[in-house]
Structure 1
Amino acid sequence: MSAQLQTIAGIVIYHPDEANLIRLAAVLAPDVREIVIYANSAVSPQMEERLRNSAAGTLLMVMRPGSNIGLGAAYNDLLNHASGQGATFLLLLDQDSLPPPGAIPKLAARHAQLTEAGEKPAIVGPRPTDWAGEALRSPPRREGLAVAPNSSRVQFVISSGSLINCVAAGAVGPFRADFFIDAIDVEWCMRANHRGYSTWIAEDVLMAHELGRGLIRLSFGLLLTDQPPRRLYTFLRNQLVMLRMPHVPLSHKAKTLLALPLRLAVYLKHNRFSRESRTAIWHGLIDGARGRAGAPEAVFRKIANLRH
């Protein structure tokens, strides 16, 4: 069975650049059975029609949850839809990514190669690059032999551009909807590894992807993702919540704790110690230490009110 017949693509959007979204749909259309736009912000009938035209005959539908319910809940709805349609794979995408033509068949073939080699791949992702084609930082590798060409077993992959096996996803369990955004893919992949599945990067499949507002470059080649205050909150909170989880490797927990002081200092300085960033970081630390996740609208409103 071809990758086109096996795969449904789900794109989660939130106030996207329409031209980029149309280009993304056009690239995906030849290699998938269906494209699902998960609209965490409004999509007009006119925009929906332009998207359908870009899909050039491939089925395209728009799922409208009615409000921004976050990435985790969106991924779960997309997985339920793909499984209900009998798809083998779900390709997850954010609006800020652009895989090359033909990426989906390559990722599906890598799933097959890994399975034939005795592995249980839950998810295979591309090698993310910036828009200039420079490779972004690689996730930590996991020990093991190279069982398929150009394949690396890793602790996690970024969700965007990744091809998920729907049956494996049912065994791993749902994405953390209460995380809302940030570290959702990291936690899920670590849970998959803990439950006997594996996560992989296809090193020969490159995908342009934008991280946050760009990168903060530090001494000795260190890089941090530049995030607005609301993302600082969810990032810090979710990373601290993960410290309580038994399936998260000790190495990741140690890295989180050791890097925390540097991250806080860099983000505060980079944001010029603004009241917004200080409030976001403070609430992220408090809620993370308490293990309290959930939709962060109340905190966002409090941060937004600081502007007035």
Structure 2
Amino acid sequence: MRYHTILIVSYHCQLWHSAALQSLAPEPPYPNQRLLLWSNSTVTAEERAWLQHHFAAYSLIHIVPGKNWGLAAAYNHVIANYITPEDYLTLLDQDTLIPQSYWHEMNEAMQQQWPLILPQLWSSNRLMSPGRRWGARGYHSQSMANAVGVVSSRRLVAMNSGMTLSGRFLSSLCYPDALFVYGTDSWLMRQYESRYPSVWLLQSRLQHNLAEAQLSYRSDVYRAKQLEMIQALGVIYNHTRFERFLTRCYQQWYRLRLWWRCR
């Protein structure tokens, strides 16, 4: 392994308020680890100074594109320009709290050269990721809370934050332009499932703040996010004629539910 890159994507968050940045150790757990921060919104001079001071021990890369690229475009840029087949990439959201045990477990799994390594992602007392999928619908599976080690990738879904991917797997991927933020994780898991039979699941539990759960059903932001999710289904689940038919049914159902909630 040449580099293990930690990619944190931030948006409308002062850097010192990011749970992910706050929970990183002052020094990297191992020498080949580097931090890449992608800021999809404006960063002040004070934030830049704080970043340089607190993460001086890291090999730090800070990218501020000047506009919100979303996740798909940001991931594509990082993979194309910073990740080689010998590297590993960890994806983190700004609001994910990381225990120190996660890095030690992660390092052991990377030494075994697993293409995809997943943690347990919790929101309060509820397991959010990984889960399982039926058709085009993912669902929470509390049985995954006791799963550790080798887990089948068949119909497995997982959220972006906390997953670690090998550069060899990533070198064959390019996120679709039609995806922006939502659906990037489901698309990735479909790609992985078609190539590898299993993943490695860590025992570590990451705490994640779901900002979407706090939005009012009648807010414009909530409606826009839901419409993006509905649109993403057609990009992810379109491999067969039956799958496309089933996806259209899901999309119609979700649109009706959204209309009912936002009326």
Q: What count of residue pairs does the alignment treat as equivalent? A: 240
- Which residue of the partner structure matches residue 218 of structure 2? none
Q: How does 1:37-76 map to 2 (within 5 A)?
A: 37-76=37-76
Q: Secondary structure at the match of 2:127?
A: coil
- Which residue of the partner structure matches residue 223 of structure 1? none
Instruction: Say which structure, 1 or 2, has more relative contact order (CA 8 Å, 6+ apart).
Output: 2
Q: Give the letter for the 2:7 counterpart.
A: G
C-alpha distance in 1 between matches for 2:24 and 2:80: 20
C-alpha distance in 2 between matches for 1:167 and 1:245: 24
Larger helix fraction of residues: 1
Q: Secondary structure at the match of 1:128?
A: strand
Residues 8 and 20 in structure 2, CA contact (< 8 A), matched pair in contact too:
no
Distance 1:141 1:151, change over 3 A: farther
Distance 1:211 1:176, change over 3 A: farther
Alignment partner of 1:158 is 2:159: yes
Q: Structure 2, unaligned stretches of length 5 or more?
A: 135-146, 216-220
Q: How does 1:118-157 map to 2 (within 5 A)?
A: 121-130=114-123, 132-136=124-128, 138-140=130-132, 149-154=148-153, 155-157=156-158
Cα deviation for residue 9 of structure 1 reads 0.6
Distance 1:212 1:176, change over 3 A: farther
Alignment partner of 1:206 is 2:208: no
C-alpha distance in 1 between matches for 2:157 and 2:110: 16
Q: How does 1:1-308 map to 2 (within 5 A)?
A: 6-21=3-18, 23-29=19-25, 30-31=28-29, 33-83=33-83, 88-113=87-112, 115=113, 121-130=114-123, 132-136=124-128, 138-140=130-132, 149-154=148-153, 155-171=156-172, 173-194=173-194, 196-198=195-197, 200=199, 202-214=201-213, 228-245=222-239, 250=243, 254=246, 256=247, 259-260=250-251, 262-271=253-262, 273=263
Residues 159 and 186 in structure 2, CA contact (< 8 A), matched pair in contact too:
yes
Cα deviation for residue 264 of structure 1 reads 3.4
Q: Secondary structure at the match of 2:116?
A: strand
Cα deviation for residue 140 of structure 1 reads 1.4
Distance 1:70 1:78, change over 3 A: same
Cα deviation for residue 139 of structure 1 reads 2.0
TM-score under structure 1 normalisation? Answer: 0.67
Q: Deviations over 1:152-187 (max 9, x none)?
A: 23323211111110111113x122243111111211
Distance 1:19 1:64, change over 3 A: closer
C-alpha distance in 2 between matches for 1:24 and 1:165: 21
Cα deviation for residue 87 of structure 1 reads 5.8
C-alpha distance in 2 between matches for 1:191 and 1:106: 24
Q: Secondary structure at the match of 1:124?
A: strand
Larger strand fraction of residues: 2
C-alpha distance in 1 between matches for 2:128 and 2:118: 13
Structure with greater Cα Rg: 1
Q: Secondary structure at the match of 2:157?
A: coil
RMSD over aligned Cα atoms: 3.2
Distance 1:137 1:80, change over 3 A: closer
Cα deviation for residue 128 of structure 1 reads 0.8
Cα deviation for residue 258 of structure 1 reads 5.6
Report percent identity of matched pairs. 18
Q: Secondary structure at the match of 2:24?
A: helix
Distance 1:266 1:108, change over 3 A: farther
Which segments of structure 1 move beyond 3 Å, counting only runs of 4 or more?
148-151, 256-266
C-alpha distance in 2 between matches for 1:249 and 1:18: 45
Q: Secondary structure at the match of 1:9?
A: strand
Q: Secondary structure at the match of 2:23?
A: helix
C-alpha distance in 2 between matches for 1:198 and 1:6: 25
